[in-house]
Structure 1
């Protein structure tokens, strides 16, 4: 195997196991504020119905972030399923990705326990955007170093387009959340448009791509 970026690449087994462990810990951290709230409710002799009503914000933010982290992990699994070698730069891209995942429980707790304000939306949805940006960086790096993966070029291009679509939708959701604060998080429903947005971007890129010249005619004698 050739040397890449001045450092010897290594196999992906420990890397993937480490990522899985980090994601599992982050998803577990999401539940901790709710566990503390249950203890407080028990001390105050609050009934189940009152607890659910009083902490509906925490429950919703937990469910939303749990689904988002699970979705990010599934996307990461698909992205690195065919990657056979990891280089230093690609490893640091993934360290940045993991940092956004580990940080997400903090703004999740803010949504569930604090009064909503525009800055809170920036912190929460901004974190989601950065997760997607680091995923996009991984696709772009793999596109420039196809020797690291057995994925087809079409698969890498589809990953790039999908991440661009998600970033645009997250940015639109952020604008809605800031403008409609404190009730603007419904803008995240725009993510349901990921597939139509990806198809639109694919069409735009195909229109802007230069046409390939026709193959030369065979020589005749």
Structure 2
């Protein structure tokens, strides 16, 4: 054990299990933070003697933003799990990439609360969808780093390339959703439904990549 610790310190690599456990904890905390504004809303509704139906009606925006962000964080976490499932070692640059990824996850409850509690303006979707884009970019950076450093795990290059293509597809679709929310306001956050096309866009990018290859 002592030899393993010494070797890890000298080659700049870190325990991958502690790394994964820490990320799981951060994601769990971020998902928990999403519910806090709703808990406060329930207390306010009780003070105002609102019925259950009135609560759901008056706080529909908060409920929708909670559900959306919860699903998105869960999706990001599952993608992160797949990306690092066969990674056996972590270097300092890889850790910092993941610190940036975690920062976007921890920040997401803030724009989520804005959606549910503030009047919508042009900057609001920029903050919310921009955070999602930042999460996807850091995911892409992690995949690209692992592809350049195959010694860190046993994930095949083909699997990493497929993940990178999927990340690129998601970034493109998030940008389209952002453009729709800004330039076609009636769409609002409904533009995020375009993410349902991620599989199609990923296949298209894959074909383009294979042709160039």
TM exceeding 0.5: yes
TM-score, length basis structure 2:
0.94
4+ long deviations beyond 6 Å: none
Q: How many residues align?
A: 207
Q: For residues 25-74 of structure 1, what are the alpha-carbon distances to aligned partners after superposition, in whole Å with 9 as ceiling and x for unaligned?
A: 00000000000000000011011101100000000000000000000000
Matches within 5 A, 1:108-119: 108-119=112-123
Partner in structure 2 of residue 196 of structure 1: 200
Q: Give yes or no for the alignment of 1:171 onto 2:175.
A: yes
Q: Is the 8 A contact 1:135 1:163 kept in 2?
A: yes
Q: Is the 8 A contact 1:101 1:131 kept in 2?
A: yes
Give the deviation of 1:7 after TM superposition: 4.9
Q: Give yes or no for the alignment of 1:154 onto 2:158.
A: yes
Partner in structure 2 of residue 133 of structure 1: 137
TM-score, length basis structure 1:
0.91
Partner in structure 2 of residue 78 of structure 1: 82
Structure with a larger share of its residues in helix: 2
Give the deviation of 1:182 after TM superposition: 5.7
Q: Is the 8 A contact 2:181 2:187 kept in 1?
A: yes
Give the deviation of 1:118 after TM superposition: 1.5
Q: Secondary structure in 2 aligned to 1:151?
A: coil
Partner in structure 1 of residue 55 of structure 2: 51
Partner in structure 2 of residue 88 of structure 1: 92
Partner in structure 2 of residue 38 of structure 1: 42
Gaps of 5+ in 2: none
Residue 107 (structure 2) aligned to one of 84, 87, 103: 103
Equivalent-residue separation in structure 2 for 1:70 and 1:144 (angstroms): 27
Larger Rg: 1
Give the deviation of 1:10 after TM superposition: 1.9
Q: Is the 8 A contact 2:87 2:154 kept in 1?
A: yes
Give the deviation of 1:208 after TM superposition: 1.4
Partner in structure 2 of residue 26 of structure 1: 30
Give the deviation of 1:117 after TM superposition: 1.3
Partner in structure 2 of residue 144 of structure 1: 148
Residue 15 (structure 1) aligned to one of 14, 19, 40: 19
Moved more, 171-180 or 129-138: 171-180
Q: Secondary structure in 1 aligned to 2:87?
A: coil
Give the deviation of 1:11 after TM superposition: 2.4
Gaps of 5+ in 1: 210-221
RMSD: 1.5
